Amino acid sequence: MTKRLISTLLLSLGLLLGSASAWAEGPELPAAGNNLRDQASLQRGAHLFFNYCVGCHSLKYMRYSRIAQDLNLSEKDVMQNLNFTGAKFDDPVISHMPAELATKAFGKDPPDLSLEVSAKGADWVYAYLNSFYLDPKSPIGWNNTILPNAAMPFPLWELQGEQTAVMGKDGHAVEKLELSHPGTMTPAQYQQATRDLVNFLDYVSEPAALQRRHYGVWVILFLALFTFLAYLLKKEYWKDVH
């Protein structure tokens, strides 16, 4: 029994070290730098999502009313500026792209993005949105260095512009990306825009995080006060004990 337990522990440790090694060998991702306390960023990210992403992607675990509540938006703001699918205020955020059209255009249904940041990490999503480039060999005309041969065309190309790949000496690996045709935003503005979008998707992946972090401060203060009172009570009980 003891040998079996030791073997299991060693195997688990080996798998953990192997995973860490594989992660270390992967490409270094730029930091998204998202901040769930930045409500202005969350609002800008919501605007970007509903103007550029909801045509194909859903957020089936989120409701328009919850977004309004958490992002300090009125029902009028949401229904006029974010709701382009004809949904009701209490409905979940569902794309109205027909499944057959999505399959015909992309070869598969576009994924729901409710848990995208939780699954892949904010840095990965941020890097992905900054790594599209023109590729005449691709059926959709675009490719991505983070997710090669991605089925999704680049929805934000008007904002960023068009990037082209500079190939390495082997002629196969992409060495770097260059902005060949500027978009409506400067590179710095586009990076901030994608940070806002990732920030919004991070919020969507765990909406309760906003409330949890707000209440967390009060919980810490309560525990500190309780600890102080418990200390005073302990001193009172033990003051006559020598």
Binding positions for heme c: 53, 56-57
Using alpha carbons, list the distances in angstroms from residue 154 to 134, 143, 144.
Answer: 9, 8, 9
112 torsion bin: left (phi>0), alpha (psi -120 to 50), beta (else)? beta
Residue 12: phi, psi to the nearest 5?
A: -65, -40
Task: For residue 70, give the H/E element and its range.
Answer: helix 64-70
**Cα separation, 183 vs 193, whole angstroms:** 13
Task: Determine contact, residues 95/49, Cβ cutoff 8 Å.
Answer: no
Using alpha carbons, list the distances in angstroms from residue 177 to 78, 162, 167, 226.
Answer: 36, 10, 9, 56
**Cα separation, 156 vs 58, whole angstroms:** 17
Token pair 């020598």 in the structure block, residue: 242
141 torsion bin: left (phi>0), alpha (psi -120 to 50), beta (else)? left
| Residue 45 in tokens | 């990210």
**Binding residue positions:** 53, 56-57
